[in-house]
Structure 1
Amino acid sequence: MLEAQHITHQINRKTLLDDVSLVVRPGELVAVVGANGAGKSTLLKTISRELTPTKGEVVLDKKPLNRFSSLDLARRRAVLAQQNPLAFEFSVYELVMMGRYPHFEGHPHPEDLAIVDFALERTGIAHLARRAVPTLSGGEQQRVHLAKILAQLMGIEEINRPEASIRQTKYLLLDEPTTGLDFYYQHSLLEVASELTRRGYGVVAILHDLNLVMQYADNVLLLREGKALSFGKPASVLTAESIFNAFNLSVHIIHQPELDCPLIVHTRQTVPLTAQIN
């Protein structure tokens, strides 16, 4: 289990996070949502150990995150950042292979090659393997970085036994992963994430599309100005009232029998709508 326990993060006199807690269990996809500046990326960077909280602690399987070595942590969690600048024109294959660096010294083993090939195929970019990453579109580059973090975490047994659960819990931290992706690949990426949760991974994803949250998230944390408004099942957290409070936006929550989850639709009203449409 990955836990952020009462996290506060301050820069000078500005509080970016104020006593925020989050729990991510193996087999769960947890979404973090909120308006720009709500503290979403700060929370994710704290969970990934990129930032050290002013107060509070991050714990992975009952062990404080700061007690893991960098190598051990790289084998347990991987991060898909908002921006991934490159200093050199690596090929797609070279960049995805970098995800395997925590697993070998010197030269990759046959299992490393097999995992990279699998990650390229699973993200739909095998045909781009020899292309230079900077020559790709933004959406294609996002899929390359997704393949890299898949290669970082996956083991050869996961390829050989695709239905088996993983033995040791692992976590993907995704900061706005659908940015730059078209409609098809937004869903494709989240299907990959959901597939991993079914095998025992934990996933944290910052998402802006609340309908994607409704469809894919097991739980959702709603932030406003660095504070947690609520945490729980998407249909319970993402109400018309809470969305208005967090985004200053009025919406309808539509329930239809043929849909597996509620649908959120923007309205031009300037006050929160409490009624739901059936």
Structure 2
Amino acid sequence: MLEANQITHQIGRRKLLDDVSLVAKPGELVAIAGANGAGKSTLLKTLSREINPTKGYVSLDNRSVFQFSAAHLARRRAVLAQQNPLAFPFSVYELVMMGRYPHFDGRPGADDLAVVDYVLDLTGITHMAQRAVPTLSGGEQQRVHLAKVLAQLMTADEIAQPRGLIQQPKYLLLDEPTTGLDLYYQHALLDIARAMTYRGYGVVAILHDLNLVMQYADRVLLLKDGRALVSGKPTNVLSPAAIRDAFGLSVDIICQSGMACPFIVPTQQLHAFSRTA
């Protein structure tokens, strides 16, 4: 279990997070939602050990994440960041292979090659393996970086049994993973994330589209101004009142027979950049 317990992160007099807790269990997808500046990325960076909270702690299997070596932690959790700048024009294959660095010293072995080939196919980018990453569109680059973090976590034993449960829980942290992706690949990426949960992975994803949260998340944490507003099952959390409170937007929740989940539709006319709390 990956757990953030009563996290506060303060810079000067400003609290980016204020007493926020989140639990990610193996086998579930937890969404983090909220308006811009609500503290979503700060919470994800705290979960990943990128930043150290002012108060509170993050634990993995009931141990502080700071008690794990960097190499061990890299094999247990991977992060798809919001920004992924490159200093050199690596090929797609080279960049995805970098995800395997925690698994080998010197040169990649047969298992590393097999995992990279598998995730290239899984993310639909095998055909662009030799292309330079900077020449790709933003959406294509996002799929490459997804393949890289999957290569970081997966093992040859897992790909040999693609539907089997993993022996030790691992965690995939996704910071706005659908950014730059068209409609098809938004759902393709989240389908992959859901499939990972069926195998025993825990997934935490920052999502702006609340309809995607409704469709894919097992639980959602809704943040406002650095504090936890409400958490629980999406159908319980994403009420018109909570959405109005978090986003300043009036919505209707539409439920129809034949739909797998409710659908959220704005009901008010918006004026650009005029949102008020």
* TM-score category (smaller protein): over 0.9
Q: Tell me if 1:33 matches 2:33.
A: yes
1:137-167 superposed Cα distances (whole Å, 9 cap, x missing partner): 0000000000000000001111111121000
**Superposed counterparts of 1:56-95, under 5 Å:** 56-95=56-95
Partner of 1:97: 97
SS of the equivalent of 1:235 reads helix
- In the other structure, the counterpart of 1:274 is none
Deviation of 1:269 (Å): 6.4
1:205 maps to what in 2?
Answer: 205
Output the amino acid matched with 2:160: N
Aligned to 2:131: 131
Provide, for residues 48-91 of structure 1, a one-character-per-residue CA deviation record: whole Å limited to 9, x for no partner: 00000000000101111110100000000000000000000000
**1:124-273 aligned within 5 A:** 124-268=124-268
Paired AA for residue 118 in structure 1: Y
Amino acid at match of 1:89: P
Q: Deviation at 1:135?
A: 0.2
Indicate the residue corresponding to 2:275 in structure 1: none
Tell me by how many angstroms 1:254 deviates. 0.5
What displacement does 1:187 show?
0.1
Q: How is 1:10-49 mapped onto 2 (pairs within 5 angstroms)?
A: 10-49=10-49
For residues 135 and 260 of structure 1, the distance between their equivalents in structure 2, rounded to whole angstroms, comes to 38
Counting aligned pairs with the same residue, the percent is 70
SS at match of 2:215: helix
What is the match of residue 273 of structure 1?
none
CA distance in 2, matches of 1:146, 1:7: 27
SS at match of 1:236: helix
Q: In angstroms, what is the RMSD of aligned CA positions? A: 0.8
Local SS of the residue matching 1:261: coil
CA distance in 2, matches of 1:184, 1:88: 29
Tell me the CA shift for residue 94 of structure 1: 0.1
Q: Tell me the matched-pair count.
A: 270
CA distance in 1, matches of 2:105, 2:162: 27
Separation of aligned partners in 2, 1:137 and 1:163: 31
Instruction: Answer yes or no: is the 8 Å Cα contact 1:33–1:220 preserved in 2.
Output: yes
* Matched residue SS, 1:17: strand
Q: Which residue of 2 aligns with 1:119?
A: 119
* Separation in 1, partners of 2:266, 2:127: 39
Take 1:242 and 1:6, find their aligned partners in 2: how far apart are those partners? 22
Contact 1:250/1:269 (<8 A) preserved: no
Give the distance between the partners of 2:73 and 2:237, measured in 1 at CA.
31
Separation (CA, whole Å) in 2 of partners of 1:183 and 1:20: 32
Structure 1 Cα separation of the partners of residues 268 and 251 of structure 2:
8
Instruction: Report the Cα offset of residue 260 of structure 1.
Output: 1.0
Superposed CA deviations along residues 226-249 of structure 1, whole A, max 9, x for unmatched, are 000111000000000000000000
The one-letter amino acid of 1:211's match is: N
* 1:236-267 Cα shifts (integer Å, max 9, x gaps): 00000000000000000001111111100011
Aligned counterparts of 1:157 and 1:231: Cα–Cα separation in 2: 35
Does the 8 Å contact 1:6/1:55 carry over to 2? yes
List runs of 5+ in structure 1 lacking aligned partners: 271-278
Query: 1-side partners of 2:210 and 2:194: how far apart?
Result: 16
| Alignment partners' CA distance in 2, 1:49 and 1:159 | 28
Q: Deviations over 1:112-159 (max 9, x none)?
A: 000000010000000000000000000000000000000000011111
